[in-house]
């Protein structure tokens, strides 16, 4: 199989992300990404932010020789993803493979990334998605990111948090719990980086978008998907980052909804993740089928054309109404029984 041409793109907010940046760089260099093919957008609210120079120093120390793109403005998700798409279109050839990974996202591939992308190409796929696996510090504490050990050792608990806390609403849902790990350069990322931009003719590795698989809500299924993104989101700086984002004009409705739900959870649980309210990998114990066999199984599942997002929302509403009806009926039965006593 020919070795694919691979780029890696990210955006780093120098106000909050610099503690993660060295870990992120080492992770992807260890995966085999060439340092000259790492493209970093540095975001700062003002040009005088000293974090810009510190970020340049970190990049140079890790051999990332390509000069970073500089974006001076308050952060909004929409603008950031538009900039990432523009940079990708300018730098990457249509047939190149592009990994898009936020600075808190650490890809977990089931085989060397070049081999996995070559395998995808042999199957006619040009987009690889993965599930988000949340990484937590012991006890669910929002801990600081230290220089050592490896950040995944600092946050060793693998869990499903985003769906447990965020749930679904009219403006966000299951699709937000998966990521587009890699795609050909011609497929620009949609806002959020969960899938390619609308209108793209995409061939997915699992035949259908992972966020539309009817099993995607099941933690055991999520932990069994071989392509994963370890998400070091739940750190000490998170509440301040969320407050800043919610106060910035241009924040998306989904960002407002999900951000507020996270802050509400911290407020109810002494500023930490309540591990009793999330699914832990060690409790789910997913199967460990070999990668080629699991890939074939998921591609067979993808032929079913799993539930689309509108159908998912309808099922959610009907399920919710059914639950409310059952609760109301139970209360009426209990009330009648009490009245007969």
The pLDDT of residue 171? 56
Exposure of 336 by Cβ count < 10 A (0-12 exposed, 13-18 middle, 19+ buried)?
Answer: exposed
End-to-end CA distance of the chain: 77
- Residues lower than pLDDT 50 in the chain: 309-310, 312-313, 315-316, 319-331, 333-335, 337-341
DSSP reduced 3-state for 189: strand
Q: What are the CA-CA distances from residue 250 to residues 166, 173, 247, 255, 263 (Å)?
A: 20, 20, 9, 10, 19
Query: Per the structure block, which two tokens stand in for 89?
Result: 């279109």
CB 233 within 8 A of CB 108: no
The pLDDT of residue 267? 94
The pLDDT of residue 2? 57
The pLDDT of residue 37? 97
The pLDDT of residue 331? 45
The pLDDT of residue 18? 97
For 227, phi then psi, to 5°, come to -95, 120
With residue 316 as reference, give the H or E element that holds it.
helix 309-340
The pLDDT of residue 322? 44
* Separation CA 102–CA 21 (nearest Å): 10
User: What DSSP designation does 215 have?
Assistant: G
Residue that is written with structure tokens 């679904």 in the block: 168
């Amino acid at each position: 199989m020919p070795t694919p041409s691979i780029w890696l793109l990210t955006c780093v907010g120098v106000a909050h992300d610099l503690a993660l940046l060295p870990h992120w760089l080492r992770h992807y260099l260890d995966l085999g990404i060439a340092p000259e093919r790492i493209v970093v957008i540095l975001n700062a609210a003002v040009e005088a932010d000293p974090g810009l120079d510190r970020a340049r120093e970190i990049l140079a120390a890790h051999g990332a020789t390509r000069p970073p793109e500089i974006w001076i403005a308050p952060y909004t998700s929409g603008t950031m993803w538009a900039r990432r798409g523009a940079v990708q279109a300018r730098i990457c050839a249509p047939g190149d493979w592009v990994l898009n990974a936020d600075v808190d996202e650490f890809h977990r591939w089931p085989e060397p990334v070049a081999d996995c992308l070559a395998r995808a190409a042999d199957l006619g796929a040009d987009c690889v998605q993965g599930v988000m696996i949340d990484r937590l510090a012991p006890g669910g504490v929002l801990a600081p990111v230290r220089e050592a050990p490896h950040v995944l050792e600092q946050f060793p608990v693998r869990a499903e948090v985003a769906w447990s806390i965020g749930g679904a609403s009219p403006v966000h849902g299951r699709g937000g719990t998966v990521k587009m790990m890699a795609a050909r350069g011609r497929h620009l990322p949609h806002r959020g980086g969960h899938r390619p931009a609308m209108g793209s003719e995409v061939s997915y590795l699992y035949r259908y978008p992972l966020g539309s698989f009817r099993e995607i809500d099941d933690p055991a299924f999520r932990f069994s998907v071989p392509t994963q993104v370890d998400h070091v989101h739940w750190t000490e700086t998170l509440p301040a980052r969320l407050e800043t984002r919610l106060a910035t004009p241009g924040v998306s409705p989904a960002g407002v909804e999900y951000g507020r739900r996270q802050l509400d959870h911290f407020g109810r649980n002494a500023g930490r993740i309540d591990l009793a309210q999330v699914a832990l990998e060690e409790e789910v114990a997913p199967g460990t089928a070999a990668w080629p066999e699991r890939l074939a199984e998921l591609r067979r599942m993808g032929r079913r054309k799993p539930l689309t997002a509108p159908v998912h929302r309808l099922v959610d509403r009907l399920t919710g109404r059914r639950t409310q009806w059952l609760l109301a009926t139970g209360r009426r039965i209990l009330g009648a029984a009490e009245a007969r006593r």
